[in-house]
Every structure is written in structure tokens, then in C-alpha cells.
Amino acid sequence: MNPIFDLYFWPTPNGYKISIMLEELGVDYQVVPINITEGEQHEERFDMVSPNHKIPALTHYVGEERAPVHLFESGAILLYLGDWSKRFIPTGARAYRDCLMWLMWQMSGLGPMAGQAHHFLQYAREDLPYAKERYRAECRRLYTVLEKRLTGRDFVAGEYSIADIAILAWVYRHQRHEIDLAHYPQVRSWYERLLARSAVQSGFEVGRALVEKGNFTSDKAQSILFGGD
């Protein structure tokens, strides 16, 4: 049987959001590697799926005709999959609002700020102390916000949801943005709780073999990813 989803993927936090969600749903899907360090995100074959030339993207083959539905932007994909499956999006009015708010918190705050921290701490060829501390400090602030939210809660929206999945994918890389979870005990407990889920473990295993194929510090990758190409 042909898989009903193609996941255009590279092992990054945003990519892991969708591999984890698909594993949680237990659906058949095929991974289509898009090596962003080699510029494959700019190839014509990917343009019709992701006009923004970013991973992840998803194609859903719908019905007997397998009509393709193309989706890009990780948050939109999570919402689509949640709506389609009727899972991992709370149905109660308050929990639903909380889920959306914390998903957007990740999309507009934690992801962009942690991503900038990764860039200046790990990949930038010029040492810029101001930029490093700027994004370290913002990550610390965001983790403090998350710590407060998780006090007295197992999950950010009351029940396990796409908001947890989205946030987890970035907290998984906490060492890269120089966050010590020992300073955030509620976040650490939540993190360990989620990592114990078999689908989360499987989601993080997706593309494990691809990691060695991507060199983010090569001249080519630096030009493609950070040079405005």
C-alpha cells in the first residue's frame, strides 16, 4: 500500500515536529529527504510543495484518487494533521485556546529566538558577543515563561497536544542554545515525560542517518543557509 503522506524532511527542530506527530498518529508515511545544506530546498521539485523553500513540508494523498494536498509551515501542518485526525487538539473551549496560544508562542517566540541563538553560538563565523548574549538572554526568558506555565501542569494546554510537540522539538536542542534544564525543573520534568513516549522516541529517530550527511559549517552550507541565496 502506498503511504498517504510524503514528509519533506531534514533533521531539524521544525522537521522533528512533523515526524513526531506522524509517529503519534501511527499513519503510513514516506520520508523525502531535503538536504538543506546542499540547497535541495531550492530545487524545482520542492517549489510546488513549499513556495517558501523551507522544510518541513507535507503532501497528503486524499481519497481513492490520491489527490495531493500540499502543506508547508510546521505549525500549519500540525494544525492540519490535528484537524484531520481529530487528535492532539483539545476540544474544550479553554484548552483549545490554550493549545493555539502556546503553539503560536513557540512559532513566534521560542523557535525564532532559539534559532538565532543556534546561529550565533554554533554557526556564525564572526564572533559577536552582543548577539550571543542577546539571544541567550531571550532564551532564558522564554524558558522562564515555560517554567511558570508548567507549574502544576503535566502539559501546556492541560492535555498532551500539538503545542507540546512543537515546543518539545526546540527544547530537544536546549544544549545548543546553552540552556541548562537543571535551572528549570518543571520544564525538565515535562521534557522527560514527553521523551518517555514511544512515538516521540520514534519521531526523533527519523532521519538519524541523515545527520552525518549535512555539514552546516561548510562554505557551501554557509552560503546557502546564511548568505541570502
Do 99 and 190 have their domain in common?
yes
Do 100 and 122 have their domain in common?
yes
Do 101 and 71 have their domain in common?
no
Residue type, 73: E
Full residue range of the structural domain in which residue 68 is found: 5-87
* pLDDT at 214 exceeding the cut of 70: no
43-98: pLDDT as tens digits: 998 999 999 999 999 999 999 999 999 999 999 999 999 999 999 999 999 999 99
The answer to the question of residue 182 being in a domain is yes
**What residues contact 70, with CB distance under 8 A and at least 6 apart?**
48, 49, 50, 57, 58, 59
Could you give the number of structural domains in the chain? 2
Gap between the Cα atoms of 25 and 157, Å rounded:
19
* pLDDT at 227 exceeding the cut of 90: no
The answer to the question of residue 46 being in a domain is yes
Question: What confidence score (pLDDT) does residue 210 get?
Answer: 81
Do 62 and 148 have their domain in common?
no
| Mean pLDDT across the chain | 94
How confident is residue 229, by pLDDT bands cut at 50, 70 and 90?
Answer: very low
DSSP assignment, residue 154?
Answer: S
Do 123 and 188 have their domain in common?
yes
Check which CATH number belongs to the domain holding 51 and give it: 3.40.30.10
The answer to the question of residue 225 being in a domain is no
pTM for this model (two decimals): 0.95
**In 3D, which of 162, 196, 157, 193 has the Cα closest to residue 77?**
162
How confident is residue 102, by pLDDT bands cut at 50, 70 and 90?
Answer: very high
147-201: pLDDT as tens digits: 999 999 999 999 999 999 999 999 999 999 999 999 999 999 999 999 999 999 9
The answer to the question of residue 174 being in a domain is yes
Do 138 and 192 have their domain in common?
yes
Do 82 and 175 have their domain in common?
no
Question: What confidence score (pLDDT) does residue 221 get?
Answer: 63
> What's the grid cell of residue 121?
553560538
